[in-house]
Amino acid sequence: MVPKTLGELRQSGRRSRPVKQEIRDNLVRKLQANESLFPGIIGYDETVIPQLVNAILSRHNFILLGLRGQAKSRILRALVDLLDEQIPVVPGCEIHDDPLAPLCAACRSKIAREGDAMAIAWLPREQRFVEKLATPDVTIADMVGDIDPIKAAQAGLNLSDELTMHYGLLPRAHRGIFAINELPDLAGKIQVGLFNVLQEGDVQIKGYPIRLKLDVLMVFTANPEDYTARGKIITPLKDRIGSEIRTHYPSTRHHAMAITSQEAWTDRKDALPVEIPTYVREVVEEIAFQARADRKVDKRSGVSQRLPITALELVASNAERRALANGEPVAVPRVTDVYAALPSITGKFELEYEGELRGAEQVARDLIRSAVGNVFTGVFEGVDTRTVAEWFDLGGSLLLSDGTAAAEVIAQTCGVHGLRELAERAGAGKGASAPSVASAIDFVLEGLYAQKKISRSDERGYVAAEAAPRRAARREEQNIEEEIRIPGSKKKYYN
């Protein structure tokens, strides 16, 4: 039975423990039971999670250092699962005082007055996590609190009496977890305030010393470069952070695809079934890998995993739009749909000077093309694709767009010798639906274009590649200019 009064709580034999001990105890139990520790956090099993476990076992305050979109905030929020499901509190106390060890004067006098008959309340663990994004305008009042002179005057109290205190975020995280994102953005003065509360359990507000023996697990995130930059973090605060844990982007395309399919909203049973071919998922993922390695993209700010997540959502939507317009029973995204995801890509990275000159949209187009080339090479390693290229060399050309119905794509390309066989190899085998076959055909054409075996332009679609390499290079430039000139056109000619 859950105790309802202070007396029942005392009889239950329940002992208060500091929050770091509570989290440690629960972690130890999970480790003994061989439970999965951070469900939904993918690709960190051998790197981040062991370090995190060690920090928690050591009862450290810790900081996650990493670039944007590396699941830092998500990891911090997952710590809630390591708290007890609920803890007893003094009802109405703003800082969730422990009935067995109250901090504030109001609770102490309430307990003295009511004794064992005092009713207690239970606080669920979700309410014990306080999160704050650090910005330069955060004040001591926001973080620690302020003195309320009116409250003091009305109650006839001295200003330094804690009853006159209006609590900030940190005291409200008492007995819980306090997470500060982007710690280096916090002004030095506020860092000093935090440090004082952590170290001494007291703080000065407007010159009045206030005592607050708070019990919190402090966790932080920061961009590694900001964190190590001299003067960004005051040394005593850095000293109090027991562990620095580096996060990273997924190290394999396989991990990255698992994260994206977990996070992206593509399971849209409300309209049509959306069937995303593996090569489309791979291309979307590869864009982020290419961007992270591209010298035109700023390495210090990184390329968020949200890029492939939101891109895949737009890719699915573009396929839905086409399927709905053409009355098709299933939406199968094509590689060409990735260009419709440009609005989700261009904002997800910062450009270096060279990239600025080229423009975000063109950089993104280049990334898509090299991503397609990379994935295509993987699928068609050692496969002869010459017959298809020859069809274009003999003067064949195709005019397709991302709105072309599946049946139309198949009809237009049926004379291209060898194309259907390659499409089968990409996954559209016997019995595949028309939208799947059309998608596979599109993948082959975009792949050959990425490998420069055929060319494509917005006006003339897919056509033969130029034979002489030097001329081909010039042609390339010209195509790029055409793409810049007519960004609205979605028609593509392959030949």
CB of 7 to Zn ion, least distance (A): 19
- 120: its two tokens: 């207690």
Cβ-based nearer residue to Zn ion, 96 or 420: 96
Q: How far is the CB of 117 from Zn ion (least distance, A)?
A: 18
Nearer to Zn ion, 97 or 282 (CB): 97
Q: Which residue in 327, 326, 328, 287 sits closest to 308, CA to CA? A: 287
Question: What is the contact mask toward Zn ion in residues 476 to 495, using x (rule: CB under 5 A)?
Answer: --------------------
Query: Measured between alpha carbons, how far is 148 from 165 in angstroms, rounded to an integer?
Result: 6
Under rule CB under 5 A, residue 214 binds Zn ion:
no
CB of 107 vs Zn ion, minimal distance in Å? 3
Residues 86-145 close enough to bind Zn ion by CB under 5 A? 93, 97, 104, 107
Supply the minimum distance, in Å, between the C-beta of residue 151 and Zn ion: 15
CB of 103 to Zn ion, least distance (A): 6
Q: How far apart are CA 400 and CA 241, in angstroms?
A: 58
Q: Is the dihedral of CA 90, 93, 98, 101 positive or negative?
A: negative
Nearest partner of 181 among 260, 326, 73, 305, judged by Cα: 73
Token pair in block for residue 308:
């492939």
Distances in Å between the Cα of 363 and the Cα atoms of 282, 286, 289 are 19, 14, 14
CB of 91 to Zn ion, least distance (A): 10
We find the least distance from the C-beta atom of residue 127 to Zn ion, in angstroms, to be 15
Q: Which tokens sit at 66? A: 């990493």
Can you read off the two tokens belonging to residue 469?
A: 């390499």
CA distances from 129 to 41, 82, 124, 171, 417 (A): 19, 11, 10, 12, 62
Q: Of the two residues 97 and 294, which places its CB atom closer to Zn ion in the complex?
A: 97
Give the nearer residue to Zn ion in terms of CB position, either 104 or 440: 104
Q: For residues 136 and 183, is the Cβ–Cβ distance under 8 A?
A: no
**Site for Zn ion, residues 35 to 94, rule: CB under 5 A:** 93
Is there a contact between 123 and 91 (Cβ–Cβ < 8 Å)? Answer: no
Q: What is the DSSP letter of 466?
A: P
- Measured from the CB atom, is 97 or 446 closer to Zn ion? 97
Instruction: Compute the least distance from the CB of residue 34 to Zn ion, in Å.
Output: 39
Beta bridge partners of 132: 180
CB of 176 to Zn ion, least distance (A): 14
Closer CB to Zn ion, 93 or 338, in the complex? 93
Instruction: Give the Cα-Cα-Cα angle 177, 74, 299 (nearest 5 degrees).
Output: 120
> HSE on the CB side for 65, CA within 13 Å?
15
29/18 Cα distance (integer angstroms): 17
Identity at 2, one-letter amino acid code:
V
- Distance CA(278)–CA(425), nearest Å, equals 12
Q: Which amino acid is it at 488? A: G
Nearest distance from C-beta of residue 120 to Zn ion, angstroms: 12
Smaller CB separation from Zn ion, 146 or 408? 146
- In the complex with Zn ion, the residue whose CB is nearer, 212 or 307, is 212
C-beta closer to Zn ion: residue 212 or 345: 212
11 burial via Cβ count (<10 Å: 0-12, 13-18, 19+): exposed
Q: Between residues 215 and 446, which has the closer beta carbon with respect to Zn ion?
A: 215
Fill in the amino acid letter for 482. E
Using alpha carbons, list the distances in angstroms from residue 125 to 19, 77, 78, 83. 11, 11, 11, 6
What is the total count of residues that contact Zn ion (CB under 5 A)?
A: 4
What residue type is assigned to position 220 of the chain? F
For Zn ion, the closer CB: 146 or 275: 146
3-state secondary structure of 26: helix
Residue placing its CB nearer to Zn ion in the complex, 167 or 208: 167
In this structure, what token pair is assigned to residue 99?
A: 């009935």
CA pair distance 481, 56, nearest whole angstrom: 55
Q: How far is the CB of 165 from Zn ion (least distance, A)?
A: 11
Cβ 262 to Zn ion, closest distance in Å? 41
* Cβ neighbours for 376, distance < 8 A, ≥ 6 positions apart: 279, 443, 444, 446, 447, 448, 450, 451
CB of 58 to Zn ion, least distance (A): 30
Nearer to Zn ion, 1 or 117 (CB): 117
Which residues in this chain contact Zn ion in the complex, by CB under 5 A?
Answer: 93, 97, 104, 107
